[in-house]
Amino acid sequence: MKIMVFNGSPKREKSDTMHITRAFLEGMNSVSENDVHIINVIDSHIEYCTGCLGCMINGGKCVHDDDMKDILEEILISDVLIFSFPLYCYGMPAPLKALIDRTLPLSSMAMTKVGDHYEHVAQRDFSKLRYVMLCGCGFPNSNNNFEAMVMQFKMMFRDNSTVITVPQSPMFNAPEAHSVTKPFLEVVRTAGCEYAQKGEISAETAEKLKKPVLPHEVYAQIVNGNV
């Protein structure tokens, strides 16, 4: 299986969320060895979409000559796209949003009705793709933090999407928290294993992933004590 990972954190390999993503990939690789390519999005030359829509008219050719051309070609031969990123102002970091905006050449101007809404007709065949969102934040819990980003991701990728959101993600970069983060990462590995086997995460594992590493109040006290 070919897996493309978009690391949206400007911290690159030191990203808090990438600890979670690496555990998920380890779980997938425990089922069968996969071809994994990790892209640190901040290091890619990706211009902002200008909204000219030329790519939708000219057979997918963008006015920008940058790294997106090769990224789009690799997307099309991939099986799974994993978006790993920290939550920025209830959304994704700007470099990752720029990348997603620039996937417009995969669509045409033509529209078709799907259920109760309309979608652009694809110019290229990427129907086999599955999408995973792994998103961390520094708040003690998930309530009123991830909802907007989860909704956006599911609207973009519909039924082919799987979402894991993790509060208290800075804990994964703290060696002194290893005793409490290690058990959680084992659950993430189980999730990766299940996803590789069945294309989804079991309800039991999903429920375990909802439990924060530390009680909310304890985490908040630790953070406030270090301010």
Strands 130-136 and 80-86: parallel
Please report which confidence band the pLDDT of residue 227 belongs to, taking 50, 70 and 90 as the band edges.
low
Read off the pLDDT of each residue in 83-111 and give the average, rounded to a whole number: 96
Decide: 75 and 126 in contact? Cβ < 8 Å: yes
Local structure of 131: helix, strand or coil: strand
Q: Is the pTM of this model over 0.85?
A: yes
Read off the pLDDT of each residue in 42-65 and give the average, rounded to a whole number: 94
Spatial strand order in the sheet of 35-40: 35-40, 2-7, 80-86, 130-136, 161-166
Q: Can you give the length of the chain in residues?
A: 227
CA torsion 22→24→30→34, rounded to 10°? -70
Residue 171 has pLDDT above 90, yes or no: yes
Model pLDDT, residue 178: 92
Domain ranges (residues) in the chain: 2-225
* Rounded Cα–Cα distance for residues 163 and 148 (Å): 13
Domain covering 2-225, topology: Rossmann fold (3.40.50)
Mean of all residue pLDDT scores within the chain: 95
